[in-house]
Amino acid sequence: MNKKWLALALKVAVSGGLIWYLVGSIDLEAAERRITQTDPVMLVGAACLLLFQMLIAGFRWRTVLQGIGIGLQFWEIVRLFYVGTFFNQALPGGTGGDVVRVYMVYKADWGLRGALNGVILERVATVLALVMLVVGTLPFFITNLDASGRAWIIPSVALVSAVVALGLVVMCLLDRLPGGMRRWRIVRGLGDLADDARAVFLRPSIAIPALIWSALGHVNIAFAVYVLAIGLNLDISAFDCVVLMPPVLLAMTIPVSIGAWGVRENAMVVAFGLIGVSAEGATVLGVLLGLVGLAVAIPGGILWLSGRNRGGPSLSDVEAELASAKSKEH
């Protein structure tokens, strides 16, 4: 079994285990009643917000790409991001959406370095903004915690924030490694990443809008959750969602499951349980968020197939061509 399939098997096991745990700990009949009583208009509303997320992500990615000198057109960036979202949501076990995005930017004649670093730094910007939102909403979040809860959540947030900040500093200094190590291709690649990271995060004209677009994306998802909560008749305010969703989204960035299934639902049970939402209510809310997100991602697959019909590569060709390009670069 190669590494890719082993990683997939582990992710399936994690998702399956977490979902199994939830199924055994909630009132399934109550959850079924909530699902059958969901307002379809609110499902459509949440889908519209998640569709709007593609535009927000497009602005975020374009800002990062401009910072490293890549001038793709905005609507092309949105198209590429949409295709990547499809692979992340609908085909999480195969070629990842980020790999597909790297490939498509590379094939647009912007070079492997820019294509790869543009996706990496866009991901970094989303995590940075998410940590900033977690820190910013922490004073409101901890009002729902007792003394024991505050005793572990505050140090945990501080630790995560410190690790992310240190990681950004290290990323920007990766080209300071001893000169003798430059003979290794991976070290030269890390040096290029450091150069591009400084071009993005040490330039206010790039860093500020990139982080703003990232934060707006996270808030937009929180509002989509609020709309779903209305459809489920849950007693949750928009402000609750803005405060409680950043920690959930941060948990979802940990790549230990299939499309965050299981992680998302358990995190939402913990977060929304702080304001008295039942376990089955929070679970159904998380499941609907995942399903609506999956439905919204499907047109990205159509965009990919339309490219295939015009002579585009198959999935098996994507990783092979990127590997070949990597061996030639540097």
Classify residue 69 as left (phi > 0), alpha (psi -120 to 50) or beta: left
Question: Which residues make Cβ contacts (< 8 Å) with residue 102, sequence separation at least 6?
Answer: 112, 115, 116, 119, 322
Q: Span 60-77, mean pLDDT?
A: 95
Give the pLDDT of residue 149.
Answer: 80
Give per-residue pLDDT as tens, 302-326.
Answer: 888 886 645 556 666 676 667 666 6
Question: Which residues make Cβ contacts (< 8 Å) with residue 137, sequence separation at least 6?
Answer: 242, 243, 246
The domain segmentation of the chain, as residue ranges, is 27-328
Give per-residue pLDDT as tens, 218-252.
Answer: 999 999 999 999 999 999 999 999 999 999 999 99
Task: Name the token pair of 143.
Answer: 């009002």
- Residues 153 and 141: their CA atoms lie apart, in Å, by 10
Residue 83's pLDDT band (cuts 50, 70, 90): very high
Which stretch of 5-19, 46-60, 266-280 has the lowest confidence by average pLDDT? 5-19
- Please say if the pLDDT value at position 120 is more than 70: yes
Highest mean pLDDT among 9-23, 57-71, 101-115: 57-71
- Residues 270 and 285: their CA atoms lie apart, in Å, by 12
Give the pLDDT of residue 168.
Answer: 95
Q: Span 117-138, mean pLDDT?
A: 95
More confident residue, 187 or 209: 209
Residue 178's pLDDT band (cuts 50, 70, 90): confident
Per-position b or e across 141-173, b if 16+ CB within 10 A of its CB? beebeeeeeeeeeeeebeebeeebeeebeebbe
Question: Which residues make Cβ contacts (< 8 Å) with residue 74, sequence separation at least 6?
Answer: 58, 59, 62
- Residues 235 and 55: their CA atoms lie apart, in Å, by 30
3-class SS at 87? helix
- Please say if the pLDDT value at position 45 is more than 80: yes
- Please say if the pLDDT value at position 92 is more than 70: no
DSSP for residue 109? I
Average pLDDT value over all residues in the chain? 89
